[in-house]
Chains A and B, each alone.
Chain A
Amino acid sequence: MRILVCVKRVPMTGGKMVLTADEQAIETRHLGFTISPHEECAVEEAVRLVEANGGETVVLTLGPAETEEQLRDCMATGADRGILLKTDGADWDAQSTASAIVDAIRAEEAFDLILVGNESADTGNYQVGIRVAHALGLPVVNGLKKIELQGEQVRCERDAGGARDVYVVPLPAVLSVLEGLNLPRYPSVPGRLRAKSKPLAVVEPARPEQKLEKLRLVVPPGQGKQAEILGNGPEAAPKVVELMQQLGVA
C-alpha cells in the first residue's frame, strides 16, 4: 500500500516564547527543530502499516530548504522517500498549504492513505487535511487515536468524552491523527545512515495571496509569574498540606 504522510517543521520551544524584533516569528537562533507530535505518530503508523502490508511510505512537507532535516529524520525512522515543497521561509496559510499539497499529490501515483496531524503544533489551523480531502474528493476522519486496516477499508476510533466514536471508511482516505495513536520509535544509527541516501524530490510551488494574513505575533500577558516559595525539601510538607486544606482539596 502507498501511504503519504504530511509533516511540518516546527521549533522546539522549550520553556519560553521569545519573538524576533519584527514580531513576525519566534526567535529560533538557539532552538532545534522537530515535527509536530501528532505527525510523529502519523509517520510511525505509516511505517508500521507498510511493514505489515508492503508498499511505500512517502513523507511530504512544505517549508524552507532546512526542512530537509525533518524529512531525513522521518526517513531515519522508516519513511522511504521525501517530497519537499520548498518555500523562501515565509508563512503559508492553511488554504495555500493545502492547495500546494493537493498539486503535489496529483503529480504522484495515487495513494491509498494520506495521513496528517490533527493540527500543527505552531499555527494550529485544524484544517489542512480536510481541505486536501475535499479537493481530492476523498473521505476524511479527524482526531484519531486508533486505526485498523480491514481489507479495502479502515476502521477508526476517536475520543468522545469517556467513550470512543467508531468510523469505517473505504480507501483511499485522508486520516488526521493525534498523539497517543502509537509510541513512535527512535531512529537507529543504521536508520540515520540509510536516510542520507533515500530519494528526496524538491518542488518550488508559487505562494498565492494569503487570505488568512499574519500581521504580528504577540506573547500573551500573564507569563512570568512569581511563585510563592513554600519551602525547601521535605520540611515544606506541613506548609503544602496547609495550602491543600486552604484550597479545599485535602
Chain B
Amino acid sequence: MSVLVFVEPGDELSLQALSVARSLGEVRAVSLDGPYAPAAWAAAIVEAAQDSDAIVAAGSDRGNELLAHVAARLDQPFAANVTAVEGDVVTRIRWGGSLLEQARLHGSPKILSVAPHTQPAAEAVPVERLELPADADTSVRVLETVAESSGGVSLRDAKVVVSGGRGVGSAEGFGIIEELAELLGGAVGCSRVVTSAGWRPHADQVGQTGTKISADLYVACGISGATQHIAGAKGAKKILAINDDAEAPIFASADYAVVGDLHEIVPAISAELRRVRGQ
C-alpha cells in the first residue's frame, strides 16, 4: 500500500502521523512552503497522490483542514482524528477524546488524520517539497501574520495552570486564583461556565472548545468536571482538584483531591508557599 503523508517541518504531530502512515505501508512524505493557502495546497496534495492508496496528515488545525479540502476535491470520505487503523475500520475520537468511535472508512484513497498525542513520534524521514499546480487557486491565503500582545505565561505551554470554575463565584473571585498562579510562575485557566458568564476572556478557557493544556500540574478550583472541560485538561500530567462537593465528577479525573471551600483553601496554599520560601 502506498501512503502519502503531509508533514509540516518541525511539527511533532506530523511525526506522530508519520508513525501511523508507516504502519499502513510504504510512505512518501511531502510538504509545501510559501504562504499557507489551504485550497491550493490541497490541490497539490491531490495531484501528488494520484497513485496513493492512503493520504495521511496530523489531526492539527492545518492537517484536518487540508485533508477536508482533499476529500472534498476527490469526493471521498475523510476520517478525522484517528487513533487506530485495522483494515478499513478506523477508531477515531469524538467529543474531544471523551468518547471513541469505530467506523468503516469506505472509499479510496483512504483519507485520515491522526489524533494528536495518541501515537509515538516516528523518526523523521526525507520530505519532498511539492510545487503548487499551475492552475492552483491561491485566492484564500494568509496575507499577513500579526503578533498577539503576549499576556504573560501562555496557557498551552505553562508548567502549572491554576484554574477556576463556577465555584469561584465572580470575576473578582479570581484574585486568589491569579495570586497562586503567579507564585507558581504558572498561567490562569478557567472553565466554559466562567467565559460564558464573562468573568474571564475566552483565551483563558481550558476545554474542548478552548485551550488544550500540557502542564505538569493542573489545579482545578471549583470546577465540576464536565467532559467538555476534561477534554482540555487531560493533557496535564497530574490534576489536583479542589471542590466542596465530594461527589463532583472532577474527582474521577483527578490524581489528587482537596475537599472544601476553595475560597479558604487557595489562599492557604499561597500562604504556605510563602512560608516555606521564607517570604
Scan residues 114-132 of chain A and give those whose CB is less than 8 A from a CB of chain B. 119, 121-127, 130-131
Chain A residue numbers with a CB within 8 Å of B130 are: none
A178 interfacial by beta-carbon distance below 8 Å: yes
Please classify the interface of chain A as helix (H, G, I), strand (E, B), loop, or mixed, using the class held by over half of its residues: mixed
Give the contacting residue for A212; candidates B79, B148, B252; CB below 8 A. Answer: B79
With A130-B69, A163-B145 known to touch, is A227 a contact of B257 (CB < 8 Å)? yes
**Residues 202-223 of chain B, each 1 if its beta carbon lies under 8 Å from chain A, else 0:** 1101001110000011000000
Q: Which of A14, A139, A218, A248 contacts B139 (CB 8 A)?
A: A139
* Chain A residues with CB under 8 A of B202: 145, 179-180, 183
Chain B residues, Cβ within 8 Å of A193: none
Cα-based distance from A234 to B150 in the complex (angstroms): 34
Residues in B whose Cβ lies below 8 Å from that of A14: 226-227, 249
Q: Is the interface of B mostly helix, strand, loop or mixed?
A: mixed
Given A15-B225, A93-B77, A234-B265, are A121 and B208 neighbors across the interface (CB < 8 Å)?
Answer: yes
Q: For residue B269, which residues in chain A have a CB less than 8 angstroms away from its CB?
A: 237, 240-241
Count contacts between A and B, CB distance < 8 Å.
263
Choose among A180, A228, A234, A250 the residue that contacts B184 (Cβ–Cβ < 8 A). A250
B5 contacts chain A at the CB level, 8 A cutoff: no
B253's nearest neighbour on chain A, judged by CB, is A225
Task: Pick out which of these stretches binds chain A: B48-56, B60-68, B120-128, B164-172.
Answer: B60-68
Q: Is the CB of B106 within 8 A of A38?
A: no
Contacts of A234 in B (CB 8 A): 260, 264-265, 267-268
Structural contact, B73 and A218, CB atoms closer than 8 A = no
- Interface residue? A211 (CB, 8 A): yes
Is A190's beta carbon under 8 Å from chain B? no
Are A217 and B255 in contact (CB-based, < 8 A)?
Answer: no
- Residues of A whose CB lies within 8 Å of any CB of B are 13-17, 26, 36-38, 93-95, 119, 121-127, 130-131, 133-135, 139-143, 145, 157, 160, 162-170, 178-180, 183-184, 210-220, 223-225, 227-238, 240-241, 243-245, 247-250
B-side residues, CB < 8 A to A, are 36, 38-39, 61, 64-65, 67-69, 71-73, 75-81, 89, 91, 93-107, 113, 139-148, 150, 154, 159-160, 184, 186, 192, 195-196, 198, 202-203, 205, 208-210, 216-217, 224-228, 237-238, 240-241, 248-261, 264-265, 267-269, 271-273, 276
